Amino acid sequence: MAIGIAAKKAGISRQSLQYYLMVGLLEPSEITATGRRLFSEKGVERIKLIRKLNESGYPLRAIRELFLEGRSDL
């Protein structure tokens, strides 16, 4: 699904999703030949997890470190 649809399904703004991409919190599941970034349902679930962790007080940097350390399989 396209970035706007993924953002809407995850309950965040398109700009927030673009920021998550920029800081390395997630990657698109596919990039088309024209450069469009597409996301799977698993990607949407990861976005929701990022949002919940951030809302509960974790800074985005700490969330990224958790993912890099392999503490989440999403």
Q: pLDDT band at 60, cuts 50/70/90?
A: very high
Q: Is the pLDDT of residue 70 over 80?
A: no
What is the full DSSP assignment across the chain? -BHHHHHHHHTS-HHHHHHHHHTTS---SEE-TT--EE--HHHHHHHHHHHHHHHTT--HHHHHHHHHTT----
Residue 70 CB neighbours (<10 A): 7
Of 50 and 74, more confident: 50
Is residue 21 classed as helix, strand or coil in its secondary structure? helix
Q: Is the pLDDT of residue 32 over 80?
A: yes
pTM of the model: 0.84
Mind listing the domains of the chain with CATH numbers?
3-68 (1.10.1660.10)
pLDDT value at residue 72: 53
